Chains A and B, each alone.
Chain A
Amino acid sequence: MADQFPQPGDDRGAAAGAARIVDGAGLDAVIRGLRGRGYRTVGPAVRDRAISLAEISGVADLPRGWHDSQSPGSYRLTRGTDREIFGWAVGADSVKRQLLPPREVVWRAGASDRLPREEGPAESVPLALVGVRPCEVAALRILDRVLGGGQVADPRYAARRQDLFVCTVECGSPASTCFCTSMGTGPGAESGFDLAITEILEDEEPRYLVRVGSDRGAMVLNEVESRPATPQDEAARQEVLDRAESQMGLRLVTDGLPELLERNLEHPRWDQVASRCLSCGNCTQVCPTCFCVSVEDTTDLGGTVERRRRWASCFEVGHSYIHGGPVRPTTRSRYRQWATHKLGTWHAQFGTSGCVGCGRCIAWCPVGIDLREEVSAIRAGDGLRAAGPRSGGG
């Protein structure tokens, strides 16, 4: 499938050079350089005791010394005295919010003429994402296919995506909830970026190995004081990635996963997980690829009609509503839909898995449901069927 969006890295031939090394001041200069070029720079920052994506104007805004500890149903930030900036995995917030805002007015129509007038996206300033993980870059690639790869693209996503500058930071600090190595999306970044940074912590003051993925990235980096990376620097980067791989949590075995799920729709594990799942939809909100939106129309007191698009969740009872009631009335059917879509039927629809292995759905599940454990339970009991007949209602 051809991707409609320019994939940084495609033009690597023109841009690729040997990796460079910058220090903290150089990293700051990269961010300022992006701002100087007119980008709104958004990167990791501590908000509400979590790493979120917020507007940043320099390295001083980044979460230096902050570290996260994640496990099923738990996310905690602690602050150390170290100089590490990217010493955490991922927060609840993802790139999804930047490109597909949670709420958006599409159009308004007057009370008398009923003529829909589109409300364009307020931001016409191009966005630069700084410090997002390779799993986030993988999520962008999936969203590109979902929202931009079909017959009709989401024009607002496409507009934001078109100008997006991606400066990813490879992962040296995965959480126990992380499984990017299972999904082939990390901890290193191979493509889909303008610049890729690796934070190297051998000395008291970290240094940053920067690789270029596009001409735009090269231009930004060229304006920053740097030195060529040595073989020792490259080895240090590899060490960061090797350590990250070794720290990864449980694996999610993906062999034949769509087929496994498709033939186990009546597996007793769905009942078991439904007894714990609250159907709250947290997993879908924090998931960087869950793209479901609802369309809502309202009228104000003056009669002006407004159409809004908002994030939705397949865990909402009304998500599948057709006349007569919801198609998926039970938590069992809704959890099954989410998991089988994300890991299975997503392939049929979009030619890729819908999961990047970021583990957000695990950490932010209030009852600590671990997608990896659910899948392995189904794999272990492949072919089991829940006892008793099920109603055949549509």
Chain B
Amino acid sequence: MALAAEAGSEVRHPLTPLRYRVVGKRRETEDTVTLSLLPVDRPIALTRPGQFNMLTGFGVGEIAISISNDPAAEEPLEHTIRAVGAVSSALCQTPPEGVIGVRGPFGTDWGVAELSQTDTIVVAGGIGLAPLRGAIRALLERRRPSGKGHLLSVVVGARNPSQLLFEEEMLAWQRAGAHLQVTVDTARPGWSGPVGVVTDQLARVPADFSNAVALVCGPEVMIRYTARALVDLGMPRDHIRISLERNMQCGVGLCGHCQLGPWLTCRDGPVFTYDLRAEGILASPHR
């Protein structure tokens, strides 16, 4: 007879989630929502910005979603999810008070704790702003006590204005001292900002690139071009941190889906340093 272990018991299978209740749900764009989550039984360990959790839509499946706030500073847990497949759609459709599963935290983080004395350039493309939101908040929070601190520059790109995430909040970041540049691939009536890719914006960032650190997240092609552009602007490779996406099914290096050259993305990433090896791996298609 099979042994059954209660979910609350000590030894848990790494694929067993904890139950979390949706205590808040905010629509960000047409297809993207932010879920606020509180534990039903007990919480997962502290998730740092850049890390991800595995979220279960019960009976539908499980996907990796980065944390989109900074749980060290604020409850509840927030995950910003774009409905693109069956699981992400199910998660986005979870009603308030609904229960989802959460496993985590997994992977490497942005390392914002070391960045309070450094000019930081955050570059985000599309939904890639979500994993960076917690880092931006943490960086703004850390700067506050000293009044004006080092530069925090936020460069955001989206396909069109209606796809922009956290619009209100971006203005708050600006008020709190962040230097903000927003660009879209395709403008709409009423858009007065720049049109084009994020790399076009980088030269206008008022930073000393040789001393600044960059946090980059977005589609892989955007990451590739952004990292190259930053290097061209004088940023040392090891100052560039990128967040990569691969299929993740376990989060703990046991399922093999997130292979990327020498890396298991869930274990060795998702945040990597853009060193020469990383540049080479990204330059090779279909890896």
Contact = CB atoms under 8 A, between A and B. Distances in A.
Given A116-B7, A118-B13, A295 B259 contact: no
Contacts of A323: 82, 84-85, 88
A119 interface: yes
A327 B247 contact: yes
Interface stretch (A74-82, A146-154, A174-182): A146-154
B256 to A, nearest CB: 3
Contacts of B58: 109, 114, 297, 299, 305
A222 interface: no
B253 A151 contact: yes
A322 B246 contact: yes
B26 interface: no
Contacts of B73: none
Contacts of A345: 259, 261-262
Nearest to A304: B59
A106 interface: yes
B249 interface: yes
Contact of B15 (A106, A332, A337, A348): A106
A320 B257 contact: yes
Contact of A394 (B11, B221, B261): B221
User: Looking at B58, B246, B267, which has the most chain A CB atoms within 10 Å of its CB?
Assistant: B58
B255 A394 contact: no
A118 B16 contact: yes
B147 interface: no
Contacts of B3: 120-121, 124
B196 interface: no
Contacts of A322: 245-247
Contact of A320 (B7, B99, B247, B254): B247
Given A120-B2, A297-B60, A327 B286 contact: yes
B13 A107 contact: yes
A257 interface: no
A347 B255 CA distance: 17
B4 interface: yes
Contacts of B14: 152, 154-155
Contacts of A122: 1-2
Given A323-B85, A337-B259, A291 B7 contact: no
Interface in A87-146: 106-107, 109, 114-122, 124, 146
A107 B254 contact: no
Contacts of A394: 219-221, 224, 282, 285
Interface in A265-285: 265-266
Interface residues of B, number: 55
Interface string B10-23: 01111111010000
A305 B62 CA distance: 12
B44 to A, nearest CB: 14
A296 interface: yes
A226 interface: no
A115 to B, nearest CB: 5
Given A155-B13, A327-B246, A337 B253 contact: no
Interface in A306-327: 307, 309, 312, 314, 319-324, 327
B262 A295 contact: no
User: Looking at B14, B58, B255, B286, which has the most chain A CB atoms within 10 Å of its CB?
Assistant: B286
User: Looking at A124, A265, A341, which has the most chain B CB atoms within 10 Å of its CB?
Assistant: A265
User: Looking at B11, B19, B59, B264, which has the most chain A CB atoms within 10 Å of its CB?
Assistant: B59
A305 B286 CA distance: 35
B101 A116 contact: yes
B56 interface: yes
Nearest to A110: B58
Interface in A239-283: 262, 265-266
Contact of A297 (B19, B62, B250): B62
Contacts of B257: 292, 294, 312, 319-320
Nearest to A296: B61
Interface stretch (A8-16, A34-42, A385-393): A385-393
Contacts of B45: none
A282 to B, nearest CB: 17
B168 interface: no
A156 interface: yes
B74 interface: no
Contacts of A64: none
Nearest to A332: B286
A299 B214 CA distance: 43
A192 B40 CA distance: 45
Nearest to A152: B252
5 contacts: A155-B13, A266-B284, A291-B254, A295-B62, A333-B286
Q: Considering the complex of A and B, which 9 residue pairs feature the smallest CB-CB distances, nearest first?
A: A120-B3, A394-B220, A299-B59, A292-B256, A348-B262, A333-B286, A152-B252, A305-B59, A118-B5
Given A305-B58, A332-B286, 9 more contacts: A106-B16, A295-B62, A297-B60, A321-B247, A322-B245, A323-B85, A327-B247, A345-B262, A391-B285
